[in-house]
């Protein structure tokens, strides 16, 4: 990504809880960073307008006119087909079903636009600018509101037959588990995400569990989040620590499955939930080591996302650069 340093793209990371937009150059330098809450429950047009507003603010922050932007990359949560530019479904964004999101953004913003899954975008960000530089075979996992993944094989994102590969958050971990937003039961993200941690905390509080978690949620059980649980755990709350260890165990089961299937040399872990750190990840790695093939587990190393919360937005920008370069050589 070192060529054409004067080129700029607009990267958009559209997730279930936030929209992050930035003006980025080919070195991965960000000239702006606009973050806003995703109006996930609103109608389609309101959601699209929020994306457009974020793009406008990012350009103004960078003091860059749209005319200087060579392309736009959108990393969107959900199952999509990058070639067709369609977002089939996004479990945490119900209004965006069978939407030609690429074409809508391209028409509204007036620039060549490319669509990619948000976790695939994050994997590309780490590949070009972060913890996976120089690594040809790795998996990126984002532990957040849900769980996403990007699989890189021989230096390329593996997208599958229609672009829907890498939806690791929706592999079944427990056939009788909680119902997922995707309609399935017992998906990895229903058991090991930030949403899962908050749900389990609420259940235990309702059952009368002794805990200080509510103190970190303004005393309102409906405001309990993964962060509330983490804050309580940091202060020594026994139940909060127990819940995090349990969630970590489920993270480990999913990691073991990925290690056995793909035999990666590296697994990069990002997303808000991963910032809990060792309290979550130590039990995860322990369970993964117990359940994965010994030789495959010994061959893999784990790394935290080098770009932090910017993996997705930088990857979306990198994807736009990558695809524009392909077009220019045709």
What pLDDT is stored for residue 132 in this prediction?
97
Statement to judge: residues 202 and 239 lie in one domain = yes
In a domain, 1, yes or no: no
Taking the alpha carbons at both ends of the chain, their separation in whole angstroms is 19
CA 86 – CA 96 distance, rounded (Å): 10
Statement to judge: residues 30 and 120 lie in one domain = yes
In a domain, 240, yes or no: yes
CA 147 – CA 128 distance, rounded (Å): 22
Q: Report if pTM > 0.75.
A: yes
Statement to judge: residues 188 and 45 lie in one domain = no
In a domain, 49, yes or no: yes
* Structural domain of 275: 133-305
- Specify the CATH number for the domain of residue 106: 3.30.420.40
Statement to judge: residues 58 and 167 lie in one domain = no
Statement to judge: residues 109 and 153 lie in one domain = no
Instruction: Count the domains in the chain.
Output: 2
Statement to judge: residues 117 and 160 lie in one domain = no
In a domain, 2, yes or no: no
CA 217 – CA 201 distance, rounded (Å): 11
Statement to judge: residues 80 and 212 lie in one domain = no
Statement to judge: residues 86 and 207 lie in one domain = no
CA 277 – CA 6 distance, rounded (Å): 38
What pLDDT is stored for residue 163 in this prediction?
84
In a domain, 172, yes or no: yes
Statement to judge: residues 58 and 173 lie in one domain = no
The pLDDT profile of the chain, 330 residues, written as one tens digit per residue, is: 544 447 999 999 998 889 999 999 999 999 999 999 998 888 999 999 999 999 999 999 999 999 999 999 999 988 899 999 999 988 778 899 999 999 999 999 999 999 999 999 999 999 999 999 989 999 999 998 889 999 999 989 998 988 889 999 999 999 999 999 889 999 999 999 999 999 999 999 999 999 999 999 999 999 999 999 999 999 999 999 999 999 999 999 999 999 999 999 999 999 889 999 999 999 999 999 999 999 999 999 999 999 988 999 999 999 999 999 988 886
Statement to judge: residues 237 and 268 lie in one domain = yes
Q: How far is CA 230 from CA 214, 243, 275, in A?
A: 12, 10, 10
On whether the CB atoms of residues 300 and 266 are closer than 8 A, the answer is yes
Statement to judge: residues 40 and 98 lie in one domain = yes
What pLDDT is stored for residue 166 in this prediction?
92
Statement to judge: residues 30 and 176 lie in one domain = no
């Amino acid at each position: 990504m070192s060529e054409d340093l004067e080129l700029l793209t607009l990267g958009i990371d559209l997730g279930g809880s936030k929209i992050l937009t930035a003006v980025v150059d080919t070195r991965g330098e960000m000239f702006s960073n606009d973050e806003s809450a995703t109006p996930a429950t609103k109608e389609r047009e309101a959601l699209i307008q929020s994306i457009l507003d974020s793009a406008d603010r990012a350009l103004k922050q960078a003091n860059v006119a749209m005319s200087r932007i060579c392309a736009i990359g959108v990393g969107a949560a959900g199952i999509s087909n990058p070639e067709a530019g369609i977002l089939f479904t996004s479990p945490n964004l119900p209004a965006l079903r069978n939407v030609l999101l690429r074409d809508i953004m391209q028409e509204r913003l007036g620039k060549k636009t490319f669509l990619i899954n948000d976790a695939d975008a994050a994997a590309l960000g780490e590949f070009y600018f972060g913890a996976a530089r120089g690594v040809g075979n790795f998996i990126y996992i984002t532990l957040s509101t849900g769980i996403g993944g990007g699989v890189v094989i021989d230096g390329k994102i593996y997208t599958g037959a229609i672009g829907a590969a890498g939806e690791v958050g929706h592999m079944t971990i427990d056939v009788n588990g909680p119902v997922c937003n995707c309609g399935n039961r017992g998906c990895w993200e229903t058991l090991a995400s930030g949403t899962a941690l908050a749900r389990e905390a609420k259940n235990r509080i309702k059952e009368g569990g002794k805990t200080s978690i509510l103190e970190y949620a303004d005393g309102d059980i409906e405001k309990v989040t993964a962060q509330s649980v983490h804050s309580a755990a940091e202060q020594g709350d026994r139940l909060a620590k127990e819940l995090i260890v349990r969630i970590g165990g489920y993270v480990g089961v999913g990691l073991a499955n990925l290690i056995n299937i793909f035999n990666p040399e590296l697994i990069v872990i990002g997303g808000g939930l991963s910032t809990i750190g060792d309290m979550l990840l130590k039990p995860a790695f322990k369970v993964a080591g117990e359940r994965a093939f010994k030789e495959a587990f010994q061959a893999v190393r784990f790394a935290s996302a080098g770009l932090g919360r910017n993996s997705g937005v930088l990857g979306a920008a990198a994807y736009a650069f990558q695809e524009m370069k392909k077009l220019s050589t045709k």
